Amino acid sequence: MKITVIGHGYVGLVTAAVFADLGNSVYVVGRTAEKIENLNKGIIPIYEPGLEELVKQGLSAKRLHFSLEYDPYVSESDIVFIAVGTPPKSSGEADLSTVLEVAKKIGTHLNGYTVVATKSTVPVGSNKMIARILAENKDSKAKFDTASVPEFLREGSAIHDTLNPDRIVIGTKSQRAQDLLITLHKPINSRFVLCNLETAEMIKYAANSFLATKISFANAIAKLSEKVSADALSVLEGIGYDKRIGNEFLLPGAGYGGSCFPKDVKALIAISKQHGYDFALLSEVENINKEARHDIVKKAVKMLGEVQGKKIGILGLAFKPNTDDMRNAPSIDIIASLSKMGATIKVYDPQGAENAKKIIQGATFCKDSYEVAENADLLIILTEWNEFKEINLAKIKEKMREPKILDGRNIYDPEEIKELGFVYQGVGRA
So which residues are the catalytic ones? Answer: 260
Q: At what angle do helices 261-274 and 280-304 cross, to 10 degrees?
A: 140
Stretch that binds ligand UGA, among 50-58, 100-108, 152-160, 276-284 (CB under 6 A): 152-160
Q: In whole angstroms, how close is the CB of 153 to ligand UGA at the nearest point?
A: 5
Which among 178, 288, 171, 153 is positioned nearest to 224, based on CA atoms? 288
Q: Residue 365 in 3-state DSSP?
A: strand
Q: Tell me how far apart the 2 most distant CA atoms of the chain are, in Å.
A: 76
The yes or no reply on residue 215 touching ligand UGA (CB under 6 A) is yes
- Candidates 3, 233, 260, 411: give the one binding ligand UGA (CB under 6 A): 260
Which residues, other chains included, contact 355 with Cβ-Cβ below 8 Å and sequence gap of 6+?
Answer: 318, 324, 325, 326
DSSP state, 363? Answer: P
Whole-angstrom Cα distance, residue 258 to residue 325? 7
Half-sphere exposure at residue 36, Cβ-oriented, CA atoms within 13 angstroms: 14
x/- binding map, residues 87-126, to ligand UGA, per CB under 6 A?
----------------------------------x-----
Burial code of 389-418, b = ≥16 C-beta within 10 A, e = fewer? eebebeebbebbebbbbbbbbbbbebeebe
DSSP letters, 16-51, are HHHHHHTT-EEEEE-S-HHHHHHHHTT--SS--TTH
- The Cα–Cα gap between 148 and 302 comes to 49
Site membership for ligand UGA, residue 19 (CB under 6 A): no
Q: Which is nearer to ligand UGA, 316 or 403 (CB)?
A: 316
Q: Does 249 bind ligand UGA (CB under 6 A)?
A: yes
* 152 near ligand UGA, judged by CB under 6 A: yes
Rule CB under 6 A: choose which of 144, 261, 348, 412 binds ligand UGA: 261
Write the interaction track for ligand UGA spanning residues 304-323; mark x where CB under 6 A is met and - where it is not. Answer: ---------------xx---
- Residue among 114 and 216 whose Cβ is closer to ligand UGA: 216
Among 155, 201, 226, 333, binds ligand UGA (CB under 6 A): 155
Q: With CB under 6 A, what is the number of residues at the site for ligand UGA? A: 21
The residues pairing with 345 across neighbouring beta strands, listed in sequence order, are: 312
Only one of the segments 47-55, 75-83, 246-254, 301-309 lies at the binding site for ligand UGA (rule: CB under 6 A); that segment is 246-254
- The answer to whether 251 contacts ligand UGA (rule: CB under 6 A) is yes
Of residues 59 and 265, the one with the C-beta less far from ligand UGA:
265
Candidates 258-266, 268-276, 400-408, 417-425; binding stretch for ligand UGA (CB under 6 A): 258-266
Backbone phi and psi for residue 26, each to the nearest 5 degrees, phi listed first: -120, 130
Told to check if 208 binds ligand UGA by CB under 6 A, we report yes
* Rounded-to-integer distance, Cα 83 and Cα 102, Å: 10
**Does the protein bind ligand UGA through residue 258 (CB under 6 A)?**
yes
3-class DSSP state of 215: helix
- Give the nearest distance from C-beta 155 to ligand UGA in angstroms: 4
| Per CB under 6 A, 151 contacts ligand UGA | yes
Pick the binder of ligand UGA from 7, 30, 257, 313 (CB under 6 A).
257
Give the range of 16-24, 48-56, 151-159, 182-190 binding ligand UGA by CB under 6 A.
Answer: 151-159
Q: Residue 351: which of 313, 318, 315, 390 has the closest Cα?
A: 318
Q: Is 6 helix (H, G, I), strand (E, B) or coil?
A: strand
286 and 364 in contact (C-beta within 8 Å)? no
Cβ 326 to ligand UGA shortest distance, Å: 11
User: Can you give the binding site for ligand UGA, defined by CB under 6 A?
Assistant: 121, 151-155, 208, 211, 215, 249-251, 253, 255-258, 260-261, 319-320
